Amino acid sequence: MTATLRTLFLNPPSYSGFDGGAGSRYQARREIKSFWYPTWLAQPAAMIANSKLIDAPADDLNLAQVIQMSRGFDLCVIHTSTPSFRNDVLVAERLKQEYPRMMIGFCGAHVAVLPEESLNASTAIDFVAREEFDYTLLEIAQGKPFADVDGISYRSNGSIQHNKDRELIGDMDALASVLDVYKRDLTIENYYIGYLQHPYLSLYTGRGCPARCTFCLWPQTVGGHVYRTRGPESVIEEMARAKEYFPQVKEFFFDDDTFTADLPRAAEIAKGLGKLGITWSCNSRANVPYEYLKIFKDNGLRLLLVGYESGNQKILNNIKKGIRLDIAREFTKNCRKLGIVIHGTFILGLPGETKETIEETTRFACELDVETIQVSLAAPYPRTELYQQAVRNAWVNKDAMVLGDGTQSCVIQYPELSSEEIAAGLNRMYKKFYFRPRPIARMLVAMAKDSQERNRRLREGAEFVKFLWSRPAPKKAVPAPVAEPKLEQPVA
Ligand code: SF4
């Protein structure tokens, strides 16, 4: 095996509870403590023998601790995001100050689309890895000269060089499994998602999504629109190993953008999972036919995470969702009939939103009566179609996508609908959905059945109520957390 630099993969310390790392679709601190797995960093880490992965937010590590743990590494790769970028630059600068010889690279959707601006933000960043960065980072760790590495931008002789793009990975089966890195470097009990059983474990079986939703970050920046997948046999073999490595895991989540995009393949995998006796869940669109849902349910599927986005057909058309409300209703009924739990996600503030459509979406969510919901504020990430539209039409009213505590900030507005009204709609929608007898009864039943579940729900309920009542509709976004307390601590 080729010798490699000692490489640290870092999801840096940030806002308390900030889930801005790889795997999170909406980069913000959520209403309740939530962390996705840093799978995008674990993937290249699995390809470099002497690497280490540190997930600071999930492990509740502050900058001083991270700096200490970074000693001895030759290369540090930081996964960044648009909302956390300024914060992550500060982390890079502190690392460079402490370890001047350490090479520092950034990766993630933000630097993929803004490489020049990202490098100009600080001389502490030696390079940015654009597009899919697994093999890019492997080559850098192997000591390949920057000039010969596809997919990077870097400084050379006082100017910024952009090497040619790296092609998307065609053979997903050639990628190493992330499981050994999870086992070696992560504390899986630290990963919580409100609607998944705890502890859960998530990974990808493929990348890219064929749908064209205008707001969606990953397919338009890093993953592309072709669903590139691992073979069913290799997925089943990996899941057998996952079960053996992590017997305490109660639920396995496939974080592919849309695991159900290739239904025959998903069914083949499901049948293998059924034989393993695994409880699993995945992302899905609201259009899976009954016969496939049945196969999934019969083979261990517990939950689908479904992006409904809006209860207004015109808005769905505006964002190219490619879903009809009547199909979404039918799909939801079928899931209920089969006993498949749904976590429904919605977005307020998409093009065409009015005060009336916010109410329509709220009524739609209550009518569907899925188990749990998540409401996000439309976020125009650079390079997405929504971003181009928002800039062209002057809909963006500020640039900080998160507030000072890391929670969502509404950066979009329309001539007839202000950011404040959209943000207030989010609070109202949560209250109208959750303070109905049925969700309350569901919660009480779940708590009565299981004492562990009771403690968790009580904690999450308290966090959620605090979120709803302690944070009135934001009037003004504040810049990213340069004064984040964790970053203020001196390096020990
Ligand atoms: S279906 Fe989901 S993952 Fe695919 S583009 Fe739309 S929002 Fe993104």
Q: How far apart are CA 182 and CA 177, in angstroms?
A: 10
Nearest alpha carbon, ligand 1 atom 8:
216
The DSSP line for 258-300 is: TGGGSHHHHHHHHHHHHHHT--EEEEE-TT--HHHHHHHHHTT
**Residue from 213, 225, 282 whose mutation best tests the ligand 1 pocket (most atoms within 8 A of CB):** 213
Q: Which two tokens stand for residue 210?
A: 């064929």
415 preceded by a cis bond (ω within 30 of 0):
no
Determine if ligand 1 sits within 6 Å of the CB of residue 219: yes
Question: In the prediction, which pLDDT does 487 show?
Answer: 31
List CB contacts of 346: < 8 A, sequence separation 6 or more: 308, 309, 310, 311, 361, 365, 373, 374, 375, 376, 429
Helix (H, G, I), strand (E, B) or coil at 138: helix
pTM: predicted TM-score of the whole model, two decimal places: 0.90
Question: In the prediction, which pLDDT does 25 show?
Answer: 56
β-pairing verdict for 301-309 and 280-284:
parallel
**Are residues 296 and 284 in contact, defined by beta-carbon separation less than 8 angstroms?**
no
Question: In the prediction, which pLDDT does 471 show?
Answer: 58
Question: In the prediction, which pLDDT does 448 show?
Answer: 82
Question: In the prediction, which pLDDT does 485 show?
Answer: 27
Between the CA of 473 and the centroid of ligand 1 the distance, in Å, is: 28
Question: In the prediction, which pLDDT does 23 show?
Answer: 55
Q: Where are the beta strands (DSSP E) in 292-407?
A: 301-309, 341-348, 372-377
Which residue's entry shows tokens 């605090």?
A: 466
Between the CA of 34 and the centroid of ligand 1 the distance, in Å, is: 21
Instruction: For residue 125, give the amino acid letter.
Output: I
Nearest alpha carbon, ligand 1 atom 1:
211
Determine if ligand 1 sits within 6 Å of the CB of residue 345: no
pLDDT by residue, tens only, the chain of 492 residues: 578 999 999 999 987 666 665 555 565 666 667 889 999 999 999 999 999 999 999 999 999 999 999 999 999 999 998 888 989 999 999 999 999 999 999 999 889 989 999 999 999 999 999 989 999 999 999 999 999 999 999 999 989 999 999 999 999 999 999 999 999 999 999 999 889 999 999 999 999 999 999 999 889 988 899 999 999 999 999 999 999 999 999 999 999 999 999 999 999 999 999 999 999 999 999 999 999 999 999 999 999 999 999 999 999 999 999 999 999 999 999 999 999 999 999 999 999 999 999 999 999 999 999 999 999 999 898 889 999 999 999 998 766 776 767 777 888 999 999 999 999 999 999 999 999 999 988 888 888 887 777 777 777 777 777 777 765 554 443 333 332 323 323 222
**Residue from 24, 216, 288, 320 whose mutation best tests the ligand 1 pocket (most atoms within 8 A of CB):** 216
Q: How far is CA 123 from CA 52, 279, 413, in A?
A: 24, 47, 35
**Are residues 164 and 150 in contact, defined by beta-carbon separation less than 8 angstroms?**
yes
